[in-house]
């Protein structure tokens, strides 16, 4: 079974500063994908970034980067130059990429608040 752990229920960051949201995962499968989603108060889950277990380089998407440390089973999200609009819940998720197990497994989330 897969498990995602997000140990930070809430985080504060000053506008324009960088912030790291922690995520550790547990799986015995060698082929998996790691995802980060943002959920504003409106409820919609917004896809941010993806990292495959065999990807050699850390994923980056604009201000988002994923610090992937496979040996430590961690996939931390780094948001650079925080903006007020970044205030939201952030969820780390994973999915095993072989056949038969297609569901995303989510962590409990981290609430990020960006302060002016």
Partner 1 sequence: DAGVTQSPTHLIKTRGQHVTLRCSPISGHKSVSWYQQVLGQGPQFIFQYYEKEERGRGNFPDRFSARQFPNYSSELNVNALLLGDSALYLCASSLAPEGAYEQYFGPGTRLTVT
Q: Tell me the three state secondary structure of residue 86.
A: helix
Phi and psi at 36, nearest 5°, equal: -120, 135
Can you tell me which of 28, 41, 42, 57 binds partner 1, judged by CB under 8 A?
42
Least separation in angstroms between CB 82 and partner 1: 22
13 binds partner 1 (CB under 8 A): no
Cα(40)–Cα(94) distance, integer angstroms: 20
Kindly state whether residue 59 participates in binding partner 1, applying the rule CB under 8 A: no
Instruction: Say how far apart CA 21 and CA 82 lie, in whole Å.
Output: 12
Q: What x-and-dash track marks residues 94-113 binding partner 1 by CB under 8 A? A: ---xxx-xxxxxxxxx----
Binding residues for partner 1, rule: CB under 8 A, are 4, 33, 35, 37, 42-47, 50, 52, 91, 93, 97-99, 101-109
């Amino acid at each position: 079974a897969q498990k995602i752990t997000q140990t930070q229920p809430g985080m504060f960051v000053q506008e324009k500063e960088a912030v790291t949201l922690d995520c550790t995962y547990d799986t015995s499968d060698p082929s998996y994908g790691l995802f980060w989603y943002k959920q504003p108060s409106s409820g919609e889950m917004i896809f941010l970034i993806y990292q495959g277990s065999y990807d050699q380089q850390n994923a980056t998407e604009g201000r988002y980067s994923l610090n992937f440390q496979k040996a430590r089973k961690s996939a931390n999200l780094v948001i650079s130059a925080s903006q007020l609009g970044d205030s939201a819940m952030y969820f780390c998720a994973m999915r095993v990429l072989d056949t038969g197990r297609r569901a995303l497994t989510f962590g409990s989330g981290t609430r990020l608040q960006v302060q002016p």
